[in-house]
Amino acid sequence: MAKKLLTLEDKEKKRWKKLREAIRNVWQYDHERKAVIAAVVLTRPTDNAKLFVCPVCSREWPIELATVDHEPELGGFHDWHTFFDWTKRCFTGPQRAICKPCHKRKKRPSKRGNK
Protein backbone atom coordinates (compact mmCIF):
# COMPACT_ATOMS: atom_id res chain seq x y z
CA MET A 1 0.00 0.00 0.00
CA ALA A 2 1.38 3.41 -0.99
CA LYS A 3 2.04 5.95 1.71
CA LYS A 4 -0.25 8.99 1.56
CA LEU A 5 1.58 12.16 0.63
CA LEU A 6 1.01 14.88 3.21
CA THR A 7 0.11 18.36 2.11
CA LEU A 8 1.91 21.35 3.53
CA GLU A 9 -1.19 22.03 5.68
CA ASP A 10 -1.12 18.44 7.03
CA LYS A 11 2.57 18.83 7.89
CA GLU A 12 1.87 22.09 9.75
CA LYS A 13 -0.95 20.46 11.79
CA LYS A 14 1.37 17.58 12.63
CA ARG A 15 4.09 20.02 13.76
CA TRP A 16 1.69 21.86 16.11
CA LYS A 17 0.42 18.56 17.52
CA LYS A 18 3.97 17.36 18.24
CA LEU A 19 4.88 20.67 19.89
CA ARG A 20 1.74 20.52 22.07
CA GLU A 21 2.53 16.96 23.15
CA ALA A 22 6.15 17.87 23.94
CA ILE A 23 5.18 20.87 26.09
CA ARG A 24 2.49 18.83 27.90
CA ASN A 25 5.06 16.11 28.64
CA VAL A 26 7.42 18.67 30.19
CA TRP A 27 4.55 20.29 32.13
CA GLN A 28 3.59 16.90 33.65
CA TYR A 29 6.82 17.02 35.70
CA ASP A 30 6.83 20.75 36.48
CA HIS A 31 7.21 21.72 40.14
CA GLU A 32 4.30 24.20 39.96
CA ARG A 33 1.95 21.46 38.71
CA LYS A 34 3.07 19.13 41.48
CA ALA A 35 2.58 21.92 44.04
CA VAL A 36 -1.05 22.35 42.92
CA ILE A 37 -1.77 18.72 43.81
CA ALA A 38 0.32 18.78 46.99
CA ALA A 39 -1.65 21.80 48.23
CA VAL A 40 -4.97 19.91 48.26
CA VAL A 41 -3.87 16.68 49.96
CA LEU A 42 -5.82 15.78 53.09
CA THR A 43 -4.91 12.83 55.31
CA ARG A 44 -7.75 10.89 56.87
CA PRO A 45 -6.74 10.31 60.53
CA THR A 46 -8.34 6.86 60.83
CA ASP A 47 -6.29 5.12 58.14
CA ASN A 48 -3.85 7.80 56.87
CA ALA A 49 -5.47 7.70 53.41
CA LYS A 50 -4.47 10.60 51.15
CA LEU A 51 -7.59 12.37 49.85
CA PHE A 52 -8.75 15.63 48.33
CA VAL A 53 -12.09 17.35 47.79
CA CYS A 54 -12.90 18.26 44.20
CA PRO A 55 -14.04 21.91 43.95
CA VAL A 56 -16.35 21.06 41.03
CA CYS A 57 -18.37 18.13 42.40
CA SER A 58 -17.52 18.63 46.13
CA ARG A 59 -16.84 14.90 46.52
CA GLU A 60 -13.94 13.36 48.41
CA TRP A 61 -11.54 11.40 46.17
CA PRO A 62 -8.26 9.49 46.60
CA ILE A 63 -5.37 11.80 45.71
CA GLU A 64 -4.49 9.50 42.80
CA LEU A 65 -7.65 10.75 41.07
CA ALA A 66 -6.56 14.39 41.24
CA THR A 67 -5.62 16.05 37.99
CA VAL A 68 -4.54 19.61 37.31
CA ASP A 69 -6.99 21.78 35.40
CA HIS A 70 -6.19 25.10 33.73
CA GLU A 71 -8.86 27.67 34.42
CA PRO A 72 -9.59 29.24 31.98
CA GLU A 73 -9.05 26.41 29.52
CA LEU A 74 -5.82 26.61 27.51
CA GLY A 75 -7.45 25.99 24.14
CA GLY A 76 -5.21 25.49 21.14
CA PHE A 77 -2.70 27.27 18.96
CA HIS A 78 -1.96 27.48 15.25
CA ASP A 79 0.93 29.92 14.88
CA TRP A 80 4.09 30.91 16.73
CA HIS A 81 2.53 33.84 18.57
CA THR A 82 -0.32 31.75 20.00
CA PHE A 83 2.10 28.86 20.69
CA PHE A 84 4.29 31.04 22.92
CA ASP A 85 1.24 32.49 24.69
CA TRP A 86 -0.22 28.97 25.19
CA THR A 87 3.10 27.69 26.58
CA LYS A 88 3.35 30.59 29.02
CA ARG A 89 -0.23 30.05 30.22
CA CYS A 90 0.39 26.29 30.50
CA PHE A 91 3.16 26.84 33.04
CA THR A 92 2.17 30.10 34.73
CA GLY A 93 -1.60 30.40 34.31
CA PRO A 94 -4.18 29.64 37.00
CA GLN A 95 -4.36 25.94 37.84
CA ARG A 96 -6.44 23.90 40.24
CA ALA A 97 -6.76 20.25 41.22
CA ILE A 98 -10.04 18.59 40.24
CA CYS A 99 -11.08 14.94 40.03
CA LYS A 100 -10.44 13.05 36.81
CA PRO A 101 -14.17 12.40 36.14
CA CYS A 102 -14.94 16.16 36.38
CA HIS A 103 -11.93 16.99 34.20
CA LYS A 104 -13.08 14.51 31.57
CA ARG A 105 -16.62 15.96 31.56
CA LYS A 106 -15.26 19.52 31.44
CA LYS A 107 -12.86 18.74 28.60
CA ARG A 108 -15.17 16.69 26.37
CA PRO A 109 -17.49 19.47 25.02
CA SER A 110 -14.56 21.57 23.77
CA LYS A 111 -12.95 18.53 22.13
CA ARG A 112 -16.14 17.81 20.15
CA GLY A 113 -16.25 21.39 18.87
CA ASN A 114 -12.70 21.25 17.49
CA LYS A 115 -13.26 18.27 15.18
pLDDT digits (tens, 9 = 90+) for 53-93: 999 999 999 999 999 999 889 988 989 999 999 999 999 99
Identify the band that residue 109 occupies on the pLDDT scale cut at 50, 70 and 90: low
Residue 85 within a domain: yes
Residue 94 within a domain: yes
What mean pLDDT comes out for the span 33-46? Answer: 94
Task: Of 6, 11, 21, give the one whose Cα is nearest residue 83.
Answer: 21
Domain that holds residue 82: 30-113
Alpha-carbon distance values, 10 to 7, 15, 53, 55 (Å) = 5, 9, 42, 39
**How many structural domains compose the chain?**
1
Identify the band that residue 34 occupies on the pLDDT scale cut at 50, 70 and 90: very high
d(CA 95, CA 93): 6
d(CA 79, CA 19): 11
**At residue 91, what is the residue type?**
F
- Using the predicted structure, report yes or no on whether residue 100 has a pLDDT greater than 70: yes
Residue 25 within a domain: no
- Using the predicted structure, report yes or no on whether residue 114 has a pLDDT greater than 50: no
**At residue 14, what is the residue type?**
K
Residue 12 within a domain: no
What's the pTM value of the predicted model, to 2 decimals? 0.76
Coil, helix or strand at residue 75: coil
Residue 4 within a domain: no
- Using the predicted structure, report yes or no on whether residue 112 has a pLDDT greater than 60: no
